[in-house]
Amino acid sequence: LTLHRLLEQLTRRQREVVALYEIDGLSAEEVAGILDISAAGVRSLARDARRRLAEEHARKTREELP
């Protein structure tokens, strides 16, 4: 199970937020300016993406168990 495959489960906007906010470490305000959305929207997308990634990871891990 790779991070790339997990990221494919996210929407394009969620992937953008993950890349800029979570990986590159930009502030919510900086990401908001780049993506032309609110800072609250950035935080919401990041939260939803983290939740989706955790759920997908757990599901894939269960599927790989014998």
Residues 34-46 have pLDDT tens digits of 999 999 999 999 9
pLDDT-derived band at 3 (thresholds 50, 70, 90) equals: confident
Chain-wide mean pLDDT for the chain?
Answer: 93
pLDDT-derived band at 1 (thresholds 50, 70, 90) equals: low
**Cα–Cα separations (whole angstroms), residue 55 to 24, 26, 27, 38:** 23, 25, 25, 26
**pTM for the predicted model, two decimal places:** 0.86
pLDDT in tens, 7-17: 999 999 999 99
The Cα 49–Cα 29 span in angstroms is: 18
